Amino acid sequence: MTNSRKGGGLLVAGTTSDAGKSVVTAGICRWLARKGVSVAPFKAQNMSLNSFVTLEGAEIGRAQAMQAAAARVEPTALMNPVLLKPGSDRSSQVVLLGKPVGELTASRYFGRPGPAANPRSDAVSPEKTQYGGRQEELLGTVAACLEELRGTYDAVICEGAGSPAEINLRRTDIVNMGLARAADLPAVVVGDIDRGGVFASFFGTTALLAAEDQALVAGYLVNKFRGDVALLEPGLEMLRGLTGRPTYGVLPYAHGLGIDEEDGLRVSLRGTVRESVVAPPHGEDVLRVAVAAVPLMSNFTDVDALAAEPGVVVRFVDRPEELADADLVVLPGTRGTVRALEWLRERGIADAVARRAAEGRPVLGVCGGFQVLGERIEDEVESRAGAVDGLGLLPVRVRFAVEKTLARPVGEALGERVSGYEIHHGVAQVTGGDGFISDGGGNALDGCRVGSVWGTHWHGSLESDGFRRAFLRWVADAAGRRFVPAPGMSFGVLREEQLDRLGDLIEEHADTGALLRLIEEGAPAGLPFLPPGAP
């Protein structure tokens, strides 16, 4: 494949949610990038509370930003044109081409179909996207975004969502076989063998698709295999005999990848320990970090840089007693600030945090977590709860604005350069305390600190190595721990190593020649139909 040949593509579908589509997509992107192929990721529609801000000020799924890093390209709104941010079990904020355009219930979003939309026309204006039946209408939008990417890059690796065999949603599908049909994309289906039933899942997924969809399903990828591949090969041969389709690779179970999860709504974090670097503490002690597992937690990836530090143990908690031995408590971002505040009070965690603050023990609030630490919240936008008292630990008043702040700021904190990204409706008025992040010239940019309590709207700030080490040294001193941050630990370097590991998985365990032919030439002709097909 050369730079003169544009427009190759592939859809990475899955038998289930969390089958490994995101990591396989990233791995293929990194493998191609290392071959000198210009490649971009794409996900037509993403449902996630973990998001990122591009340089142009557009909000996209955090997983697509990670995949763009794997492809060694700058992420843009084209790579994730539709982002759904759940606000409850039944409604989501719709982010279109990087900007929020309204809040919709699932029934309205998946409802009555409308005309196709063009992403460059007024057909996708905020007013028009606030009414029902939007998903099929948006097929034109996502297809146009994909076409633009395919006109720019040698290859575009598209990630599906859930399963393509969700027959109740096929009519309005824009992210799986609906997209594949519209863009004539070959598809490989990823299955998580660690869950069991992978052969039935591959066969059943294919057999529930319409004949036209089946014609684009070229084969399968087994993910998370443990053991001797030779024991699996008879099953793969039988699967090929039953379906007429090959398995393009068997990827082994890989521990400690630590890449960005896609969907905070589905991932249950309570009581889990964030995977960290397998390395002993650099100093004599470890640091224990407790993260409150608030409802609708967003961008919980903020603590990944802490977990990457040798000697830092990060745990998600939902009981006040679990804060007792923590050296640092983190209140993370959330898509429901007022709901999170109520949850903290109901659980008794709010009182435990207040006691910590009175004792001079470290607390850090990020975005929504920063807002709940303030004195008062006025919210007629997100929860429509009106005026609500905060925890009162920081002299901050928050008013929710209709327009969302989306930015990629840079500043200075604790004498170190710090960068991050902002995604919030809440506007903070700081009336006292000490500044947190400044412009380096004494002018405050964001956040507030009073004693041991810190708050900022900036996601990703802990990925700045110098600032993170300075902050952890302060936490260790305040906690009386003989903990020393590892001086050579670079989160950026670690992330690159993790992405290279994904590329290695594809290069070493997949039929890369066959995958390359699929990307360049499309699905092979004559793939057999498996009955019964879609209803």
CA 109 to CA 92: how far, in whole Å? Answer: 9
Tell me the pairing of strands 91-96 and 99-105: antiparallel
Which amino acid is present at 97?
A: L
For 148, other C-beta atoms within 10 Å of its C-beta total 15
- Catalytic: which of 145, 367, 457, 509? 367
Return the H-helix or E-strand segment holding 62. Answer: helix 62-71
Distance set, CA 475 to CA 226, 350, 454, 461 (Å) = 40, 20, 11, 16
CA 247 to CA 237: how far, in whole Å? Answer: 9
Identify whether the C-beta of residue 399 lies closer than 8 Å to the C-beta of residue 427. Answer: yes
Distance set, CA 171 to CA 144, 147, 356 (Å) = 19, 22, 53
CA 160 to CA 78: how far, in whole Å? Answer: 15
Query: Which tokens hold the place of 488?
Result: 């050579």
CA 334 to CA 315: how far, in whole Å? Answer: 17
Angle at 88 between CA 345 and CA 189, to 5 degrees: 130
Q: Which residue has the tokens 């996630």?
A: 48
DSSP reduced 3-state for 313? strand
Whether 367 is a known active-site residue: answer yes
Query: Which tokens hold the place of 37?
Result: 């192929």
- Catalytic: which of 424, 425, 457, 459? 459
Whether 424 is a known active-site residue: answer no
Dihedral angle over CA of 109, 115, 118, 123, nearest 10: -80
CA 85 to CA 65: how far, in whole Å? Answer: 16
The residue count for the chain: 535
Query: Which tokens hold the place of 400?
Result: 């929710």
- Residue 369: CB partners within 8 Å, gap ≥ 6? 292, 294, 330, 331, 332, 333, 334, 340, 455
Distance set, CA 130 to CA 126, 159, 286, 383 (Å) = 7, 26, 49, 18
Sign of CA dihedral 418, 424, 430, 433: negative
- Residue 440: CB partners within 8 Å, gap ≥ 6? 411, 412
* Residues annotated catalytic, as ranges: 367, 459
